[in-house]
Amino acid sequence: MSANVNTSLPLEYQTEQSRLNILGFWIFLGAEIVLFATLFAVYGVLGERYANGPTPNDIFKLKDVMIETLLLLTSSFTCGLAVFEMRRHRLKGLLTWLIVTLLLGLGFLFMEINEFIHYVHEGATMQTSAFLSSFFILLGTHGAHVTFGIFWAVMIIIQLIQRGLTPVTARKTFIISLYWHFLDVVWIFIFTFVYLKGMVG
Amino acid sequence: MEHKANSKYPISHIIGFLLSLLLTFAAVFVALKTQLSFTIVMWIIGSLAVLQAGLQLFMFMHVTEGEDGKANIINMAYAAFMAIVIVAGSIWVLTSGHAAH
C-alpha cells in the first residue's frame, strides 16, 4: 500500500494497489459481459418458443418497462455525480448522491419484483415455456446483480461514514460505481433486445 | 489523467444523461410508432443500444482514464467481440440448421 503514492492523481488512483484493483475490476466486468452474453444467446435462441403460453406482447407493459428503465438510467447518472463529488473531495455530496442512487435502485427492484409477481399471476411462470424460462433467467440474473449491488453500496456508505475519504475508501467507491454503471449497460440491452423486440411484432 | 477535478459542474455527466434519455426515447419511437419492417427496426434500435452503452463507458465510467486506459479499451473491445460471437453465433447455429433437414 505504501509504494508509489502519487498525490497528483485522484484519490482512488493514488496507490499502485488501487490502480491494480481498478484494472482487475475492469477485467472482471469483461467476464461479466461474457456471462450476460451467454444468457442473451439463450434468450435469442429460445425467446420465440411460447409453448401455447403467453407471448411478449401479451405480458409486457410499456409503461412499467419505461419506469424501470428511467429509474435505472437516472441512478447511473446520480452514481456518476457521486464520483464527481468524490473527486472534489466532498464527502457530503458523495454520500448524498450515493444514497439517491440506492433509492433509485430500490425503486427499480420494487418495480421489477412487482412485474414478476404480476406475470406469475397471469400464468406466465418459469415453467410455462422456453421463452419465459430464458426471460426469467436473464432478467433474474440482472435483478440479482442489482440486489447484490445495493447491499455492497450500503457497506461502502458505512465505511465512508466511519473512515471518511481516504485513498482506500475512494477506490472502493469508484469500483462500486463502475459496477453500478455496468448494470445499466446490461439493462440497455435487456430493454432493447427483450422488451422493445417483444413489443415490435 | 488531468481530470476536471476543479470544474464546478459535471458537464460530461449531464450531456451523457440527456443523450441517454434521447437514445432511449428514440428507440421506443422507432420500435413502436413507425411502420418499418421488423429487421430494420432491430438494426436501428440495436445500433442505438450500442451507442448508449458507449456513452455509459466513456462519459460515466471514464474507460480511457488512468495509466491502464488502453488496457481497459482492449479488454472492453474483446469482451464486446466475445459477446457478439456468443450471441450471434449461437442464434445462427441453433436456428439456421432446421431448414437443411
**Cell 448508449 sits at which residue?**
B52
CA-angle at A24, arms to A177 and A71, nearest 5°: 20
Q: Does B36 touch chain A (CB under 8 A)?
A: no
pLDDT-derived band at B4 (thresholds 50, 70, 90) equals very low
pLDDT in tens, A79-118: 999 999 999 999 999 999 999 999 999 999 999 999 999 9
Q: Does B40 touch chain A (CB under 8 A)?
A: no
Q: Give the list of residues 6+ apart from residue A56 with CB closer than 8 angstroms, or none.
A: A47, A131, A194, A195, A197, A198, A199, A201
Straight-line distance from the first to the last Cα atom of chain A, in angstroms, rounded to the nearest whole number: 56
CA distance A117 to chain B (A): 25
Straight-line distance from the first to the last Cα atom of chain B, in angstroms, rounded to the nearest whole number: 58
Question: Cα–Cα distance between A180 and A148 in angstroms, integer?
Answer: 10
Q: Give the list of residues 6+ apart from residue A155 with CB closer than 8 angstroms, or none.
A: none
Q: Does A36 touch chain B (CB under 8 A)?
A: yes
pLDDT in tens, A135-160: 999 999 999 999 999 999 999 999 99
Q: ipTM value of the model?
A: 0.89
